[in-house]
Amino acid sequence: MNRLLQIVALLVFIFGASMPTVVLASDGQKSVLVTGASTGIGRNLAETLAEQGHHVYAGARKDDDLAALNAIENITAVRLDVTKQDEIDAVVALIEESGTGLYGLVNNAGIGDGGPVVDTPVEVQTLVYDVNVEGVYRVTKAFAPMVMESKGRIAITGSIAGTLAWPGGSAYSGSKHWIEALTDALAGEMAPHGVWVSVIEPGNFQSRIRRSGALRRQARVVAAGGVITPEMQKEYEETEARELSYKEPDAVSEAFVHALFDDAPLRRYMVVPSAEEQAMTISTKIQQLVQLNEWGPYSYSLEELTEMLQQAMAPGED
C-alpha cells in the first residue's frame, strides 16, 4: 500500500462518513488552518478569510458543523478536536498530502468554564486547560513545521481575560494568561525561521462560549444525580440573552487578517467593543505595573516610568 492509500485509510478510520472534501488552493492562494471554526470568532474568521479568497482549513468536531463549513467556497472542513492527538495528526497528514502547504495557523479553539477555587472540582480546571492550554500547545507543535516552511504566521486567540481576573474566573483567565506567555516565548522561537506570532485579545463579542459553559455546569449537576433548578435555568437564559446582545466579532476577524497578512503585523491586538472595556483593561495593566514597582530597593520614579513608556511607544517598537 503506497503512502497516499495509507493516508486515506487513516482518514477514513478517524473521520468515517464525515471525511472532508479537500479543496486544493489555487495558484498563489495561501492556506490557513482555523481551529474551533464551528461558531463564534472562529466561524466568523473562517468565513471572512474565505470571502477574501484565502483557502481555509476549518476545524470543527460535529458532523453538522463540518457539513455547513464544507458548503462554503474556499473552505475545507476538517474534524479537529484539539484534545485528541490522532485527529490532529490526521489533519497534518491531510494537508501534507493535499500539497497546499500551510501559511497561517490560527489557534482559536477554546472553552469557558470554572468557578470559585474552594468549591470547584479540579477536573473542571483540568478540562479548561486541556482545551485552552494543552490544545493550543498540541496544535502549535504539530503544525508549526509547515508554517516554518512557508515562513508564514501564527495567530492565537487570547482575551482581555489574559489581563483581567475575577472571582470564579481563575480557570479561564489563567488559561488566557498562559496564552500571553506562550505568545512571547513562541515569537522568540519562531523569529529565526521567519515566522511572526501574534495574539488577538477580544473583549465581549457574540459567541457561544458562555452558554456552552453554563450547559456544562448543568450537565455536571445531572451527572451527579441532581436536577436543573429554576435558578440554573435562569442563569442560562440570562447568559444567552447577554451573549446575543453583544456585537458580531467582525472587528476581531479584521485584527486576525492584519496579523496574518499585513507587512507590519503587531505582537498584540486588543479588540474591544467599547471604550469601557478598553479603559478597564489598560487601567488594570497600569495597576499591575504599580504593584510590581511597590517593593524593593530598585523601584522606579514616576519620571523614570514615564520615560520607559515613551521608549516603548517609539516608532518601530513592539
Residue 66, CB half-sphere, CA atoms under 13 Å: how many? 18
Q: pLDDT value at position 271?
A: 98
Question: Does 185 lie in the same domain as 126?
Answer: yes
Question: Does 268 lie in the same domain as 224?
Answer: no
The enclosing H or E element of 200 equals: strand 196-202
Question: Does 150 lie in the same domain as 62?
Answer: yes
Question: Does 254 lie in the same domain as 236?
Answer: no
Question: Does 194 lie in the same domain as 314?
Answer: no
Rounded to 5°, the CA angle 289-291-155 comes to: 40
Question: Does 195 lie in the same domain as 100?
Answer: yes
The predicted model scores a pTM of 0.85
CA–CA separation, 141 and 137 (whole Å): 6
Question: Does 259 lie in the same domain as 241?
Answer: no
Determine whether 235 is exposed, middle or buried from the number of CB atoms within 10 Å of its CB (0-12, 13-18, 19+).
Answer: middle
CA–CA separation, 72 and 199 (whole Å): 26
**How distant, in Å, are the alpha carbons of 43, 49, 219, 251, 288 from that of 30?**
18, 10, 41, 22, 40
Q: pLDDT value at position 54?
A: 97
Residue range of the domain that includes 318? 275-318
Question: Does 220 lie in the same domain as 129?
Answer: no
Q: pLDDT value at position 21?
A: 46
Q: pLDDT value at position 227?
A: 78
C-alpha cell at position 65: 458543523
Show pLDDT as tens, one digit a residue, over the chain (318 residues). 344 434 444 444 444 434 444 445 555 789 999 999 999 999 999 999 999 999 999 999 999 999 999 999 999 999 999 999 999 999 999 999 999 999 999 999 999 888 899 999 999 999 999 999 999 999 999 999 999 999 999 999 999 999 999 999 999 999 999 999 999 999 999 999 999 999 999 999 877 776 676 776 767 766 778 778 888 787 777 777 777 778 899 999 999 999 999 999 999 999 999 999 999 999 999 999 999 999 999 999 999 999 999 999 986 544
Question: Does 64 lie in the same domain as 173?
Answer: yes
Question: Does 224 lie in the same domain as 128?
Answer: no
The tally of domains found in the chain comes to 3
Whether 172 is catalytic is yes
Candidate list 57, 172, 246, 298, residue with the active-site label: 172
Q: How many CB atoms lie within 10 A of CB 41?
A: 26
Question: Does 150 lie in the same domain as 20?
Answer: yes
